[in-house]
């Protein structure tokens, strides 16, 4: 049974932070088409804050996620950033007191985060938000024990979600009013999630 | 787009420093320094009003902290909601023992953070919520609860703020704020974009001879984009759209806000106002306490919004009550 | 450059209509309708203060008509002086029997027309003249009488206006206005141009990453043009240039105006102000009644000016005296 | 002895008004380099106002000029416009009560206008303003009896003044501070005068 610990999480955060330097303007541009053009700048700053957060001693994965959740919540009040903090808080609760977490549990963790984000933000699956990409990944990696396999499934599933939703209208967030005009465009939150999945999976996965 | 700033990451904090240095009636407070409150603090026994939102809209939001207006305001980064800690601080600092109204614009991030803050404080402080949703271009009438809050929120600030100063209780202040929001309609027109500090590009592109009707204060897409037209035609369409959505119980008195988005000269706002006043007069409406100027901006965006606040006697009296903040005095 | 206007030829008159409609304390008057005066008229026995200038600078000039400020203001087309008839009307309407101070900026057209107007009325009304010439970038110190008048003139309005309200005579009001002008220094920086309605091109061209230090409020050439720098560096240079020209008898108290030229967000003005306040403090100066906002604009020009008014006790008292116009209230 | 009457003046004004439609933006651009970019727009409006002014009956040249002076003074308070009104006022005074004015007197009239403009505006000859072009023309046509000859001399003299002054610094008006930077540029007022001379002289003169 393969597992991950808080150092694995930390490495993943570092990879995401590095990736954001490349993704920042692409995500801003995607958001500018529908919203206020700040998704990339916000995520770069928030993930940078996570990367700089100091983790508590002891290797408790839950305590580590809790520190990340607080860092995210301090760094922004944007929709996506707040939802990210909500997800991190969920992870913290679920992994509290554990030094290692089975990879096979990751899908469940994402599903719980998705539900918490739905409760917080009021959006539904199908609304073309980050939730749809998250949901796809949660399902795709549910129960998978190999980290390698989970990574490549996550990349594939988030990419597919992006493709599937591109031709659908956005139903929440700033793009609400003229939902039809959003057909053909990527949702910036989904796009961010897919791009980051690919970035943290590393060149091996795809 | 050139900006008089230092690093993008300093933009908000340095602007807040300048705001409070230049206006001693305003003080920075809160764990992240992202709350503006009245220098004298909250008066015990008064219902508090806490607002909040993203930066980039001065005088909104922080500029409306003052007597007869807001007690506190949490403020986020440019176009990002205030973080949950600042929302908690804003609520706490507005608490004079009789509860706090959370009065802010209907945006996802703002809502989530104020909701969380309220939940976290629910054992300590009674809070209520009223969301500004005056932008008629952001959702159809049957989904008005989904509409975004734009310039018209300052009417709710003024009316609820005046009510709170009278010693009204939380339910009363909440009800009048809700009534003010329900009585206010706004539509905007944009001529040129703004740019988030640190972003490589403006929030949108628009041709040299085009305007966009109904665009949001963050550059959210509007209703149509077309060639620039004479100011009177633009004003006529905006007034007509606003009047078509007048509340069912609207009386004959209305306050008007012709608001500049940031880069539009006052001369042009007055040219618009002139026509708006004419058209409202023709519709049998009497204008009360008109406002023309930059009240709610989008940094260097060019364009204007028009807000109508349909008044009954109660709201009219509260709108006329004394109030004082650095950007609005009655 | 897109403008919310109808025909270029209507620009000024329609803006004045809007201004007076929205602000009942201001009334259009004069043969050409190009005078703004206080609604209540001049108080008998008070020295009158008449100003005037070209359009395109709101709130300047017409916006500063009010109690404790100007009595009347003649107003020309965009960037053109007021015509001689309007100057005569402005002088006549400001006459309360104790003479009229002509207080306006040092520009050729304005001077010629106010001079002619004064000559034509010389048998009826005693007039004096004080010219705003605060722009340190427009001529070297030894030719300071040739300097143009820019944002700093509002200090002379306020100080002379307050003095006139006390019942002072024409010579006293003239002397204090002259002292206010002599105590005020301004420098501006421009980021982008404006465009005269009807003109096919902006008043100047400037690269996307350039600024021009010392530019005038009509786009007159400045001291240098170079790459955009951090706000703090710009503020430092401006403050240093202003302090290098502090009047010989300057005390330790100074009022500061960080003025937006039209399209610059308030956030940026506060970022500048923060640094200006810091630098003045380091120089041992105490800031009194700071002003940050769009007080004297150039339509949609982006940029800012900084004015210092070095105060003695007399001017300090007059600056703090009550005053009220639609754009400035003390 | 050839003369002109108020109808000749009226025709000249009409020609100038027509010419301004072409000259407007060129003059604005010249002014934008040194000043506030409005010379062309202002002159187009002011000369248009002259063209629309109704002249008093009776054919008195002085009364006609007086009407023009008032129309100009009503239409603007700009430097150049006010100086133009001053010149027209001078013409009015000098030609009062006359139905015809000898062409040979034109040079003197211009010289008197020049002096009145100097008194009003405070500039001197050599400052590189409209005055220098006016002065050159006044001298060139002084005493010349033939309208045809006066026209071509005026065109030549105003053009030469423009050429001569181009390399000199502006000393008054908005271009004061950095006079050296104005070297190589035409003064907008001089340029306007030269262009209008050419326009009203018609294709015959040059
Ligand atoms: N209520 C919501 N539920 C789920 N996802 C949301 C919600 N609101 C926004 N999002 C996601 O966040 C993205 C926008 O993020 P961002 O630009 O950072 O936020 P903001 O709208 O506050 O500027 C959207 O593309 C969408 O995927
Ligand atoms: N004091 C003066 N004496 C003579 N000519 C002047 C004077 N001031 C300006 N001019 C002329 O007027 C021209 C500028 O005219 P214009 O642009 O209409 O005026 P303004 O400077 O008021 O915008 C200058 O090029 C110059 O020839
Ligand atoms: Mg966004
Ligand atoms: Mg945002
Ligand atoms: Mg001019
Ligand atoms: Mg000019």
ipTM: 0.94
Question: Mean pLDDT in chain C?
Answer: 97
User: Rounded CA gap, B145 and B154, in Å?
Assistant: 18
What confidence score (pLDDT) does residue B301 get? Answer: 98
Phi-psi domain of D97 (left: phi exceeds 0; alpha: psi -120 through 50; beta: other): left
Decide if D78 contacts D42 (C-beta within 8 A).
yes
- What is the dihedral angle through the alpha carbons of C41, C43, C47, C49, rounded to the nearest 10 degrees? -20
What confidence score (pLDDT) does residue D177 get? Answer: 62
What confidence score (pLDDT) does residue D34 get? Answer: 84
The set of residues, in sequence order, having a beta carbon less than 8 Å from that of C244 and lying 6+ positions away, is none
Please give the sequence-ordered ranges of beta strands (E in DSSP) within chain A, or none if there are none: 3-4, 101-102
The residue ranges of every structural domain in chain D are: 3-205
Instruction: Please give the backbone phi and psi of residue A4, each rounded to the nearest 5 degrees, phi first.
Output: -130, 155
What confidence score (pLDDT) does residue D171 get? Answer: 84
pLDDT in tens, A122-162: 999 999 999 999 999 999 999 999 999 999 999 999 999 99
Angle formed at CA A32 by CA A31 and CA A34, multiple of 5 degrees: 70
Which one-letter DSSP state was computed for residue C301?
Answer: B
Residue C262: strand pairing partners: C301
Put simply, the answer to whether D32 touches C82 (Cβ < 8 Å) is no
Angle formed at CA A152 by CA A147 and CA A157, multiple of 5 degrees: 120
Task: Concatenate the DSSP letters of all residues of C104-115 into one string.
Answer: EE--HHHHHHHH
- Whether chain B has a CB inside 8 Å of the CB on A42: the answer is yes
Q: Is the pLDDT of residue A175 over 60?
A: no
pLDDT in tens, B30-72: 999 999 999 999 999 999 999 999 999 999 999 999 999 999 9
User: Rounded CA gap, B52 and B66, in Å?
Assistant: 14
| Helix residue spans in chain D (DSSP H) | 6-34, 39-52, 61-75, 79-95, 106-121, 130-141, 147-166, 188-201
Tokens 């998250």 locate to A134
Question: What tokens were used for C285?
Answer: 């100066």
pLDDT band at B246 (very low <50, low <70, confident <90, very high): very high
Question: Mean pLDDT in chain B?
Answer: 97
Question: Mean pLDDT throughout C195-210?
Answer: 93
Probe target for ligand 1 pocket from A30, A80, A128, with the most ligand atoms within 8 Å of CB: A80
User: Rounded CA gap, B213 and B330, in Å?
Assistant: 31
Residue B321: strand pairing partners: none
User: Rounded CA gap, C55 and C76, in Å?
Assistant: 6
What confidence score (pLDDT) does residue C23 get? Answer: 98
Q: Find the residue in A nearest to B141 (Cα).
A: A177
Within 13 Å and on the Cβ side, how many CA atoms surround D14? 7
- Percent of chain B at pLDDT exceeding 90: 96
Question: Mean pLDDT throughout D181-191?
Answer: 91
Question: What tokens were used for D108?
Answer: 């003197």
User: Rounded CA gap, D199 and C72, in Å?
Assistant: 41
CA dist A3 to B44, C237, D66, Å?
A: 55, 59, 99
Decide if B133 contacts B149 (C-beta within 8 A).
yes
A173 to chain B, closest Cα gap in Å = 6
Q: Whose CA is nearest to atom 24 of ligand 2?
A: D189
Q: Is the pLDDT of residue D107 over 70?
A: yes
Quote the longest CA-to-CA distance of chain D.
51
User: Rounded CA gap, A108 and A134, in Å?
Assistant: 11
Beta strand A3-4 with A101-102 is: antiparallel
Give the SS3 label for residue D66: helix
pLDDT band at D36 (very low <50, low <70, confident <90, very high): confident
Question: What tokens were used for D45?
Answer: 């409006």
- Decide whether any atom of ligand 2 lies within 6 Å of the D131 Cβ: yes
Q: Is the pLDDT of residue B325 over 70?
A: yes
Question: What tokens were used for B34?
Answer: 């992202």
User: Rounded CA gap, B319 and B322, in Å?
Assistant: 8
- Whether chain C has a CB inside 8 Å of the CB on D78: the answer is yes
Give the SS3 label for residue B147: coil
Q: Is the pLDDT of residue D206 over 50?
A: no
Phi-psi domain of A63 (left: phi exceeds 0; alpha: psi -120 through 50; beta: other): alpha
User: Rounded CA gap, C167 and C171, in Å?
Assistant: 12
**What is the separation of C-alpha A98 from the centre of its chain, rounded to a whole number of angstroms?**
22
Which one-letter DSSP state was computed for residue B301?
Answer: B
- Whether chain A has a CB inside 8 Å of the CB on B63: the answer is no
Question: Mean pLDDT throughout B205-209?
Answer: 95
pLDDT band at A172 (very low <50, low <70, confident <90, very high): confident
What confidence score (pLDDT) does residue B315 get? Answer: 98
Distance B59 CA to ligand 3 centre (A): 21
**Which position among B38, B46, B67, B218 bears the catalytic label?**
B218
Concerning whether B101 is annotated as a catalytic residue, the answer is: no
H or E stretch covering C267: helix C266-282
Q: Find the residue in A nearest to B110 (Cα).
A: A77
Probe target for ligand 2 pocket from D36, D45, D130, D190, with the most ligand atoms within 8 Å of CB: D130
Beta strand B253-260 with B286-287 is: parallel
Decide if D128 contacts D187 (C-beta within 8 A).
yes
Atom of ligand 1 nearest to the CA of A128: 27
Concerning whether B294 is annotated as a catalytic residue, the answer is: no
Decide if B305 contacts B186 (C-beta within 8 A).
yes
- Whether chain B has a CB inside 8 Å of the CB on A172: the answer is yes
Please give the sequence-ordered ranges of beta strands (E in DSSP) within chain B, or none if there are none: 26-29, 35-38, 48-55, 72-78, 100-105, 127-132, 184-192, 210-213, 224-227, 253-260, 286-287, 291-293, 302-311, 324-325, 328-329
pLDDT in tens, B117-140: 999 999 999 999 999 999 999 999
Angle formed at CA A182 by CA A180 and CA A186, multiple of 5 degrees: 150
Q: Is the pLDDT of residue A205 over 80?
A: no
Q: How many CB atoms lie within 10 A of CB D84?
A: 28
- Decide whether any atom of ligand 1 lies within 6 Å of the A50 Cβ: no
User: Rounded CA gap, A176 and D45, in Å?
Assistant: 49
User: Rounded CA gap, A135 and A154, in Å?
Assistant: 10
H or E stretch covering C328: strand C328-329
User: Rounded CA gap, C238 and C305, in Å?
Assistant: 9
Put simply, the answer to whether B196 touches A176 (Cβ < 8 Å) is no
What confidence score (pLDDT) does residue A203 get? Answer: 62
pLDDT band at D176 (very low <50, low <70, confident <90, very high): low
Decide if A139 contacts A125 (C-beta within 8 A).
no
- Report cis status (omega within 30 of 0) of the bond before A148: no
**Which position among B34, B57, B98, B147 bears the catalytic label?**
B57
What confidence score (pLDDT) does residue A170 get? Answer: 87
pLDDT band at A34 (very low <50, low <70, confident <90, very high): confident
Q: How many CB atoms lie within 10 A of CB C218?
A: 27
Decide if C100 contacts C37 (C-beta within 8 A).
no
Q: How many CB atoms lie within 10 A of CB B185?
A: 25
Does D have 3 or more CB contacts under 8 Å with C?
Answer: yes
Q: How many CB atoms lie within 10 A of CB A11?
A: 12
Q: How many CB atoms lie within 10 A of CB C252?
A: 10
Residues of B in contact with A75 (CB under 8 A): 83
Task: Concatenate the DSSP letters of all residues of B213-269 into one string.
Answer: ET--TT----SEEEE---HHHHHHHHHHHHHHT--TT--SEEEEEEEE-BSS-HHHH
Q: Is the pLDDT of residue C98 over 70?
A: yes
Q: Nearest CA to B190 among B157, B223, B152, B148?
A: B223
Q: Is B236 exposed, middle or buried (0-12, 13-18, 19+ CB in 10 A)?
A: middle
Instruction: Please give the backbone phi and psi of residue D197, each rounded to the nearest 5 degrees, phi first.
Output: -55, -50
Decide if B154 contacts B60 (C-beta within 8 A).
yes
Question: Mean pLDDT throughout A102-121?
Answer: 97
User: Rounded CA gap, C33 and C254, in Å?
Assistant: 38
The set of residues, in sequence order, having a beta carbon less than 8 Å from that of A58 and lying 6+ positions away, is none
Question: Mean pLDDT throughout A48-61?
Answer: 96
User: Rounded CA gap, C98 and C127, in Å?
Assistant: 9
pLDDT in tens, B265-316: 999 999 999 999 999 999 999 999 999 999 999 999 999 999 999 999 999 9
Question: What tokens were used for D127?
Answer: 């400052």
Residue of B83, B85, B196 lying closest to A41 (CB–CB): B196
Instruction: Please give the backbone phi and psi of residue B318, each rounded to the nearest 5 degrees, phi first.
Output: -70, -35
Superfamily of domain D3-205: DhaL domain (1.25.40.340)
Q: Is the pLDDT of residue C202 over 80?
A: yes
Give the SS3 label for residue A26: helix
The set of residues, in sequence order, having a beta carbon less than 8 Å from that of B139 and lying 6+ positions away, is A176, A177, B146, B147, B148
The set of residues, in sequence order, having a beta carbon less than 8 Å from that of B236 and lying 6+ positions away, is B275, B279
Question: Mean pLDDT in chain A?
Answer: 93
Interface A-B, measured as beta-carbon pairs within 8 A, has a size of: 125
pLDDT in tens, D74-104: 999 999 999 999 999 999 999 999 999 999 9
pLDDT band at A32 (very low <50, low <70, confident <90, very high): confident
Residue B1: strand pairing partners: none
Probe target for ligand 2 pocket from D189, D192, D193, with the most ligand atoms within 8 Å of CB: D189
């Amino acid at each position: 049974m393969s597992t991950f610990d808080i150092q694995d999480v930390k490495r993943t955060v570092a990879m995401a932070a590095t990736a954001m330097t490349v993704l920042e303007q692409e995500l801003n541009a995607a958001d500018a088409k529908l919203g206020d053009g700040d998704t990339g700048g916000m995520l770069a700053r928030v993930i940078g804050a996570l990367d700089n957060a100091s983790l508590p001693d002891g290797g408790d994965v839950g305590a580590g996620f809790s520190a990340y959740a607080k860092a995210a919540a301090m760094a922004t009040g944007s929709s996506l950033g707040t939802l990210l903090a909500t997800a991190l808080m969920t992870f913290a609760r679920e992994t509290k007191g554990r030094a290692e977490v089975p990879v096979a549990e990751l899908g469940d963790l994402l599903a719980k985060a998705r539900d918490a984000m739905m409760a917080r933000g009021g959006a539904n699956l199908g609304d073309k938000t980050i939730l749809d990409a998250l949901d796809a990944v949660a399902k795709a990696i549910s129960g998978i024990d190999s980290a390698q396999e989970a990574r490549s499934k996550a990349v594939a599933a988030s990419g597919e979600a992006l493709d599937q939703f591109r031709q659908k209208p956005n139903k929440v967030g700033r793009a609400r009013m003229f939902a039809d005009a959003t057909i053909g465009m990527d949702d910036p939150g989904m796009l961010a999630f897919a791009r980051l999945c690919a970035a943290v999976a590393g060149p091996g996965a795809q | 787009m050139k900006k008089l700033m230092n690093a993008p990451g300093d933009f908000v904090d340095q602007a807040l420093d300048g705001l409070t240095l230049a206006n001693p009636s305003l003080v920075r407070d809160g764990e992240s320094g992202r709350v503006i409150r009245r220098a004298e603090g909250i008066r015990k026994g008064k219902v508090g009003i806490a607002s909040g939102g993203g930066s980039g809209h001065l005088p909104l939001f922080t500029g409306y902290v003052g007597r007869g207006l807001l007690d506190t305001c949490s403020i986020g980064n440019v176009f990002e909601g205030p973080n949950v800690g600042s929302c908690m601080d804003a609520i706490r600092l507005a608490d004079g023992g009789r509860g706090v109204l959370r009065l802010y614009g209907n945006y996802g991030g703002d809502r989530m953070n104020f909701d969380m803050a309220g939940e976290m404080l629910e054992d300590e402080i009674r809070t209520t919520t009223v969301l500004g949703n005056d932008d008629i271009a952001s959702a159809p009438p049957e989904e008005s609860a989904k509409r975004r809050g734009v310039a018209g929120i300052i009417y709710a600030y003024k009316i609820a703020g005046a009510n709170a100063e009278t010693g009204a209780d939380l339910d009363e202040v909440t009800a009048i704020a809700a009534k003010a929001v329900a009585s206010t309609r706004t539509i905007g027109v944009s001529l040129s974009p703004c740019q988030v500090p640190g972003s490589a590009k403006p929030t949108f592109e628009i041709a040299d001879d085009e305007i966009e009707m109904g665009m949001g204060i963050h550059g959210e897409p509007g209703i149509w984009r077309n060639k620039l037209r004479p100011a009177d035609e633009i004003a006529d369409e905006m007034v007509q759209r606003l009047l078509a959505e007048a509340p069912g119980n609207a009386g004959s008195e209305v306050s008007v806000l012709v608001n500049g988005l940031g880069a539009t000269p006052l001369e042009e706002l007055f040219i618009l106002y002139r026509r708006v006043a004419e058209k409202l007069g023709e519709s049998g409406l009497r204008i009360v306490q008109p406002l023309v100027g930059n009240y709610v901006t989008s940094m260097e965006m060019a364009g204007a919004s028009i807000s109508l606040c349909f008044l009954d006697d109660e709201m009219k009296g509260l709108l006329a009550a004394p109030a004082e903040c650095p950007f609005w005095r009655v």
